[in-house]
Amino acid sequence: MRVTGAVVVIAVLDGGSGADLARRFTAAGAAGVLIADEQVGIAEDLATELDRPGCPVVGVCGDVRRPSDVAALVDTAEKHLGPIDLFCVAGPDGERIVSLADLPDHLDLERLAELLQLVGEAIGEVVVPQPRRPVEEAARV
């Protein structure tokens, strides 16, 4: 995986942390990093800490479980940093890095659907599925 010169998006799920990933990417020579966290202020504060000449870092609030938020992240990253090379998901049980080398420079609606599928698979890898309670038990809670 080539990091030098790459534009990276890090999406943080509740219970996860993108701080280590962001620090690793900026230290490894990424061209730019966008950090998205579900909690307001977390990504923005981290971006302020890590932003530097040669590697701008942008922080936004967003939830990659929502297709509209993924579309907004893509638009924001492309507007401020350029085409995305790596899309990362940091969850409570680990992290997953998806290379977008096979996707075109600009994500149209069809390619955005492919990205959403990759992000969904990545989320499944970093979040342990919760057992479902029987309907009767759930109704009593």
Q: Is the pLDDT of residue 125 over 70?
A: no
Put simply, whether the predicted model's pTM sits higher than 0.85 gets the answer: no
Q: What is the pLDDT of residue 45?
A: 96
List, for residues 30-85, the tens digit of each pLDDT value: 999 999 999 999 999 999 999 999 999 999 999 888 888 888 888 899 999 998 88
Contact between 76 and 43 (Cβ < 8 Å): no
User: Rg of the Cα trace of the chain?
Assistant: 16
List, for residues 94-110, the tens digit of each pLDDT value: 888 888 775 555 555 56
* The amino acid at 48: T
Considering the domain 7-108, what is its CATH architecture?
Answer: 3-Layer(aba) Sandwich (3.40)
Higher-confidence residue: 103 or 24? 24
Q: At a CB cut-off of 8 Å and minimum separation 6, what does 106 contact?
A: 78, 83
* The amino acid at 11: A
Q: What is the pLDDT of residue 138?
A: 46
Q: What is the pLDDT of residue 101?
A: 73
